Chains A and B, each alone.
Chain A
């Protein structure tokens, strides 16, 4: 079965720096890879989607890359702010199958 790993359980960075979160998977590549943000006590919120034939996607200060050779996605938040502090989940989707979520990385942006 597929296994998904997200870098460390928690990541602390200084305000203004770029946060980089990783999502690694085993076996065959998904059709889609999505990133969600989850704040304490709330449900996950969709941020970005990248398809298997796309290398990079951007949305404002967010950037996602997808490397099917490395079986890895990187999620970058540039010019990070304390308000970016949250848990970030990656979700992998294969055609005809349900989502598989990673365990998440808790990001803390320190002022």
Chain B
């Protein structure tokens, strides 16, 4: 998985609780992404980052926030989890260190989140 780890790998939480997912890379690449994957929808972009403290919204950003204080870590936070946020979350990085939006992406192993 190209030096990408995600934690936790599985999480069950209750509606209304805050949740933070972590993505860690050992590649020192500039671009990092958070996606969610749901049946019938494929992968949908939540947020992405193009550098430390530089982030932007994706297609389905409502209810999510992100932070990137170090090149290697990209955090996804659900401020108040809802059942509609039950999903599998994938982190990805660009293929090359300075790669941009058109660069091939390498994905982490995913985090399965269940919100009861």
Instruction: List the count of A-B residue pairs having beta carbons below 8 Å apart.
Output: 53
Interface pair B101/A49, CB less than 8 Å apart: no
User: Which residues of chain B from 74 to 116 have any CB-CB distance to chain A below 8 Å in the complex?
Assistant: 90, 92, 95, 101-102, 104-110
Task: Enumerate chain B residues within 8 angstroms of A28, measured Cβ to Cβ.
Answer: none
Interface pair B42/A103, CB less than 8 Å apart: yes
| Interface check A32, CB cutoff 8 A | yes
Partner of B102, one of A32, A41, A46, A89: A32
Q: State the Cβ distance, B110 to closest chain A Cβ, in Å.
A: 6
| Interface check B8, CB cutoff 8 A | no
Partner of B104, one of A46, A98, A102: A46
Interface pair B107/A98, CB less than 8 Å apart: no
Partner of A42, one of B35, B42, B110: B110
Majority secondary structure of chain A interface residues (helix, strand, loop or mixed): loop
B: interface residue count bin: 20 to 34
Give Cα distance in the complex from A98 to B109, angstroms.
21
Given contacts A98-B48, A98-B58, contact A44 B104 (CB under 8 A): no
Give Cα distance in the complex from A91 to B1, angstroms.
19
Interface pair A34/B104, CB less than 8 Å apart: yes
Give Cα distance in the complex from A96 to B103, angstroms.
11
Given contacts A89-B42, A89-B43, A103-B41, contact A44 B107 (CB under 8 A): yes
Binding site for B on A (CB under 8 A): 4, 9, 31-32, 34, 41-46, 49, 89, 91, 93, 95-99, 101-104
Sample (17) of A-B pairs whose CB atoms are under 8 Å apart: A9-B40, A34-B104, A43-B1, A43-B4, A43-B107, A43-B108, A43-B110, A45-B107, A46-B105, A93-B101, A93-B102, A98-B48, A98-B59, A98-B101, A99-B45, A101-B35, A102-B42
